[in-house]
Structure 1
C-alpha cells in the first residue's frame, strides 16, 4: 500500500524542480540590494562562495551602480572625532535619497583617522597617529589592516599625499603614498590583491616641490592618482600624479595666470577627464573657473584644457567658492556654507549660477543639510557600492 504522504512528496518533487544556480544568480540574487545579499550568504556554502566571488561582485556593481554614480562619502574635517563619516546618495533627479552616519566597531578608527579614498564601496582609511592605512567595507564592517606603509620609527617619516583606486586592467585595488624621509621623497604602493607594500627607490627629485602638498585630496583618473597644492601664489605650478600601474610619478607642468591675490584649487574626475576648479581672489571678489584636461602628452607643456564652466562676474564665493567640495559629471556641485550660527550643505547648478548671478541665487541651488556649524563637511568621495 502506497503511503499518501510519499505520493504527495513525489508529486511535489516532480513538479517543483530546483532552479539551477546560474538562474538564481542571474535573475534573482544579482538584482538584490547589498544588505539582503549579506544575509543570504548564510543560506549555504555555495551561496556564500557565489555572493563573495569577484565575478558576482563586478556584475552586481555594473547593474546597480553605473558610471554616472551619485553616491558619496562625506567626511568631517575635525581631529579626534569618533563617528564622523556620512553616506550621501541622490536619485537620477539629484533629490537626496539618504544622508546617514556611518558607524564602525574598530578602535583604530576613533582618533585622527580620515578617509583618503573610496572605490567600489571600499574606504581607504589613514590613521595619522601611527601612519597606518586600512581598507574598510562599511556594509560588512570588515577591515583589512595593511600594516604600513611604515611599521616603526614613523616619527622619521612625513606623509604628504595619499590616495586609493581600482586598476581594472590588473583587477587590483591599490594605495599610493608620497612620503618624506630625511629630505628625500619615498613612494609606497600597496596591492590589496597581493597584500604587500612596495617601496620605490628614494629620490631627492621633487622633494622641495612637494612641500606645498600636504594631505590633499586626490583625484583618480585613468589608473593615476593626482594631487594639486591647496593654495598657489605664483605662476608656475604642477599637478603631481602617481601611476598605479607603472608605480611611478607623473609631473604635469601647469601655467595659470590669474589677476588675483591667491588661488585655491580642487581636482576632480569629470566625464572621464582630469578636471580642476580654480578659485581666485581679485580686489575683494572671488572668481570660480572649472577646466577639464582633454589632452596631455609628456612633452613639456603639451596639453589642452577645455573650459567646463567659469564665472568672472562678482559672485560671492564666500558662499560658492572656498568651500566648493565636490563636482559631478553633470556640472552640479556641492558647496559647504558655514557661519558662526549655522551650516548648510548645498547642491548648486553651475550654469544657473552663471546665468542668474547673486540676485537669483536661490533658483540655482537647494539645501541638502542644515544644522549647527559642526561637523565641517570637507571631503566627498564616490561610493559605488558597499559589497565585498
Structure 2
C-alpha cells in the first residue's frame, strides 16, 4: 500500500493580514521575526491605520497615570477591559524628565502617540507607549528674555496633519503684562513655532493670534487635525476657544456655549465626544460634582445635564465616548458614564499626587525615534515594586 502524500493547506495572504490586524501589539512584536513580508506589512501606513481603527472599536482600556517620586517622573500603566477588573501592570520611569521643576504636561493621545513637554526648561518628547518608541525633540528657539512687568506663559498642542501624514507640535511662548491693580492680562506678546516630525525641525508661524491659550492639558485637545485650547483675550475682554488647523496652519476662535454663568464661577474643560468638540461645565465650589456636557455640531447643544455625583474629588481625564475619570473620596479611580449615570469603581488607587490621567488606544504608528531601552526608560512590574 502506497503512502498517502500529505496535503498542505495555505491560508490566503489577505486573510492572514485580517487575522493579524486583530492581534494586540505585543503579539505583533513577537511575529516580526516570522517572515520578512509580515515585518514589512506591520510597518505600512495601511496596516498601522487599520489596526488602530480596529482597536478603537474594542472595549480595552489603556491608561497612564502621571506621578512623581522624589525627582523622578513615573507613569503607572493600567490595562483592562471595561467590564473586567483593572490592573496596574507596570511603573514606567522616564529619566529624560528627571529633576524637572514642574510636572511635564502630557498632550494627546493622537493616534496612540503622546507628546510630553516640560514647561520649565522646554524639553519635549514624543512617545508611543504601545511600541516603546521614544523621540526627544530638538529644542525650540522660542526663548525671549523677560521684559519688566511681563510674565511668561508657555503652551503646547499636538496633532496630526492627514494631508501630509505628519505629526506636529505647536509651541507658544507668550509674554503677558499683568495689571497689578486689577490682576488681569493687559497686553500679550506671542511667538508661535511649529514642529514637524517628518522634517524633524521647527518653523515660526507668522500669523499670531490675539489670544493667550492656557497650558492645562484638560483645557486642550486635538480632534481631526484641529487643536483647541481655552484662551483669553487682552484686557480680559473675553474667554474663548482658540483653534489651530494642522493642515492649513491657521488659527480661528470659537465662543463657549451660553451655559448661564461666568467662568469665574464655573470650570470648563475640553474633551472629544464621539468625534466632536465637547465642553464639560461644572461649578468651582460645589463639593458634590454636578456638570453639563455641551457638544459642538454646527452649534452648541447640551448633551447631558447631571445634577450630582457624590463621592468624587477631582476630574482626572476623559475616555472616548464622554466617560469621565475621577479620583474618588477614598483616592480610588472611578469611571463615570454620563449616558447611564453609572459610577464604576475600577479597583485601583488613583494616586493622590497624580497630575494627570491619559487614556489611549494601542497604535503601531512609528515616530522615527529610539527604543525605550536606548533612552534608559524602565518598566518595573508592580509585583516587583
TM-score normalised by length of structure 1: 0.73
Q: In structure 1, which of residues 164, 167, 170 is the aligned counterpart of residue 164 of structure 2?
A: 170
Judging changes above 3 Å, is the alpha-carbon distance between structure 1 residues 379 and 224 closer, same or farther for their aligned structure 2 residues? same
What is the Cα deviation at residue 74 of structure 1?
A: 3.1
Alpha-carbon distance, 1:275 to partner: 0.6
2: distance between equivalents of 1:97 and 1:386? 23
Mapped contact 1:69–1:384 kept (Cα < 8 A): no
| In 1, Cα distance between equivalents of 2:340 and 2:24 | 35
| Distance change >3 Å, CA 124–CA 261, structure 1 → 2 | closer
Aligned to 2:303: 308
RMSD of equivalent CA atoms:
3.7
The alpha carbon displacement at 1:348 in A equals 2.1
Contact 2:273 2:295 in 1 (8 A): yes
The equivalent position to 2:354 in structure 1, one of 360, 376, 381, is: 376
C-alpha distance after superposition, 1:124-161 (max 9, x if no partner): 1213443122111223322222213338x577695532
Cα offset, 1:276, TM superposition: 0.7
Q: TM-score, normalised by structure 2?
A: 0.74
Q: Do 1:221 and 1:274's aligned partners in 2 also have CA atoms closer than 8 Å? A: yes
Among candidates 53, 58, 67, match of residue 62 of structure 1: 53
Distance in 2, matches of 1:260 and 1:128, equals 25
Q: Identify which of 36, 39, 48 aligns with 2:30.
A: 39
Cα 1:85/1:97, change in 2 over 3 Å: same
The answer to whether 1:347 aligns with 2:347 is no
Q: After the TM superposition, which residues 211-290 of structure 1 pair with which residues of structure 2 at under 5 Å, given as runs?
A: 213-217=214-218, 218-228=220-230, 236-254=238-256, 256-258=259-261, 262-281=265-284, 287-290=290-293
Separation of aligned partners in 2, 1:188 and 1:349: 38
Cα pair distance change 1:59/1:41, threshold 3 Å = same
Q: Following the alignment from structure 1 to structure 2, what is the Cα–Cα distance between the partners of residues 228 and 78?
A: 27
> When the two structures are aligned, how many residues end up with a matched partner?
342
- 1:198 to 1:261, Cα distance in 2 relative to 1, 3 A: closer
Q: Which digits, 9 at most, give the CA deviation of each residue in 1:206-231, with x for residues without a partner? A: 2xx41x7134432212321111259x
Per-residue deviation, residues 68-122 of structure 1 (Å, max 9, x unmatched) = 765343332558653532334453x544454333525x53143433422222322
Bigger helix fraction? 1
8 Å contact from structure 2 (residues 231, 242) kept in 1 = no
Q: Which residue of 1 aligns with 2:72?
A: 82
1:326 aligns with 2:329: no
Q: Is the 8 A contact 1:174 1:191 kept in 2?
A: yes
Q: Distance in 2 between matches of 1:291 and 1:117?
A: 21
Q: Secondary structure in 2 aligned to 1:147?
A: coil
Counterpart check, 1:26 vs 2:18? yes
- Report the secondary structure of 1:65's partner residue: helix
Counting only pairs closer than 5 Å after superposition, residues 96-115 of structure 1 correspond to structure 2 as 96-101=85-90, 103=92, 107-112=95-100, 113-115=104-106
Paired residues of 1:31 and 1:60 also in contact (CA < 8 A):
yes
Give a deviation string over 1:166-216, Cα, whole Å, max 9, x none: 33343222222222269521222222233232211264x52xx41x71344
Cα separation, partners in 2 of 1:43 and 1:378, compared to 1, 3 Å: same
Instruction: Determine if contact 1:108/1:127 at 8 Å carries over to the other structure.
Output: no
Measure how far apart 1:269 and its partner are.
Answer: 0.7
CA 1:193–1:99 in 2, change beyond 3 Å: closer, same or farther? Answer: same
Question: Gapped runs of 5+ residues in structure 1?
Answer: 1-6, 296-303, 354-363
Deviations 1:5-30 (A, max 9, x none): xx99xx66xx4376665453334x32
**Largest Rg, 1 or 2:** 1
Note closer, same or farther for the CA distance 1:71–1:65 as it changes in structure 2 (3 Å cut).
same
Corresponding residue of 2:180: none
Q: Residue 16 in 1 paired to residue 21 in 2?
A: no
**Structure with bigger RCO (C-alpha 8 Å, 6+ apart):** 2
Report Cα offsets for 1:22-49 as digits up to 9, x if no partner. 453334x323221121122233443322
Flag the 1:90–1:308 CA change in 2: closer, same or farther, 3 A. farther
1:193 and 2:182 correspond: no
